[in-house]
Amino acid sequence: MPDFDAGTTPADRMRSHAADHHHLYGHLMRGLADDWEAGGPTREIFQGWEAAPEGSVVQLRLLAGLFRIVLTGRAPELVPYYPCLGGIEPPAEAWPRVRDVLVRHTGELHDALDVAPQTNEVGRSTALLVGLFAAVRRTGLSRVRLLEPGASAGLNLLVDQFRFVNPDWEFGPIDSPLMLADGVQGDVSAMAFEVVARRGCDLQPVDATTDEGQLRLRSFVWPFQPQRHERLNAALVVAGRFPITVDRRGAGEWLEEQLSGPVDADVLTVVWQSITRLYWPAEEVKRVEAAVGRAASSAVIAHIAMEYPSEGPSVAAELTLAVSGATPEILATVGDHGTPVALLGA
């Protein structure tokens, strides 16, 4: 249960979140707001969460719970409104049918509010790859140990199993189920490398090889972003072939452990992270930086990050690279979901 934030109602917060969006979730949030005020099923679903702080985005938790009901075949009448499932019906007409589903699944949707939003965006592997090319070029090391704090399901640790196609360069297996095209603006020198080890950690790791884990990841990707669903579906196929270990640990403690052991002199240790630092307490940030800094005294280590600068998500994320404890260098700005990667000077 979140800390409470009195003053606004769930209806206020949903209308504010919906703004004037005319996608499915814009319409549904307005429908939910009206229904909450009218004392409909939405009021029962939100019971106990009425004053949840805006940042806990309970409306998205509810919409993800609803999406899980749709994805598991228990609300076929809603499929025509979900573009990622082939739906083409006008989103403005979805609300009355959604309300019927809320009535049928009130208890399940109330429980769904406990599940915080969590995605794993494989579009961000384009940024990771650009950082990896630069790290390999600078260090001259091409055997890579990849460590990812805040990895979610760890899908981006499979970067070498995805296919990247750009006008001047290509990378990755030709038969990969996931192809990421034209994601980089600017000149890239592709470098060959081999991932000799890969591992991640997360406070809430998702197992991408289970139905439950896959459902959770899909349910938090907005249904009217079909390309993101296609990417995720393809990455989940890859994850089924190359299962990844994501330890249930905090970033700092885990990196201290991972970086404390010996490593072959010809191995480049790469710590990679994307859109996780904004969730870390200040202590975690310091611990991660200290662990990476200490490791740089005995091994070659590159720290690649795709994170928002101190202004937060209101400005573009930056791709940074720091080799062996040097000050991080900004390589590119990056779209929220990983593309475009706009190289500085491009």
The residue ranges that bind ligand SAM (CB under 6 A) are: 118-121, 124, 149-152, 201-204, 250-251, 274-276, 279-280, 284
DSSP summary character for residue 117 = -
Minimum CB separation of residue 94 from ligand SAM in Å reads 27
Q: Are 186 and 332 in contact (CB under 8 A)?
A: yes
Please state, in angstroms and rounded to a whole number, the distance separating the CA atoms of residues 83 and 296.
47
Please state, in angstroms and rounded to a whole number, the distance separating the CA atoms of residues 187 and 169.
9
Q: 344: part of which helix (H) or strand (E)?
A: none
Minimum CB separation of residue 134 from ligand SAM in Å reads 19
Instruction: Pick the closer one to ligand SAM by CB: 120 or 333.
Output: 120
Instruction: Pick the closer one to ligand SAM by CB: 91 or 123.
Output: 123
Minimum CB separation of residue 221 from ligand SAM in Å reads 11
Instruction: Pick the closer one to ligand SAM by CB: 87 or 200.
Output: 200
Instruction: Pick the closer one to ligand SAM by CB: 35 or 307.
Output: 307
DSSP summary character for residue 80 = G
Instruction: Pick the closer one to ligand SAM by CB: 197 or 203.
Output: 203
Residues 6+ apart with CB under 8 A from 296: 324, 325
Minimum CB separation of residue 76 from ligand SAM in Å reads 30
Residues 6+ apart with CB under 8 A from 73: none
Compute the C-alpha angle 130/135/136, nearest 5°: 100
Minimum CB separation of residue 281 from ligand SAM in Å reads 7
Minimum CB separation of residue 118 from ligand SAM in Å reads 5
Q: How many residues does the chain have?
A: 346
Instruction: Pick the closer one to ligand SAM by CB: 78 or 201.
Output: 201
Q: Are 3 and 49 in contact (CB under 8 A)?
A: no
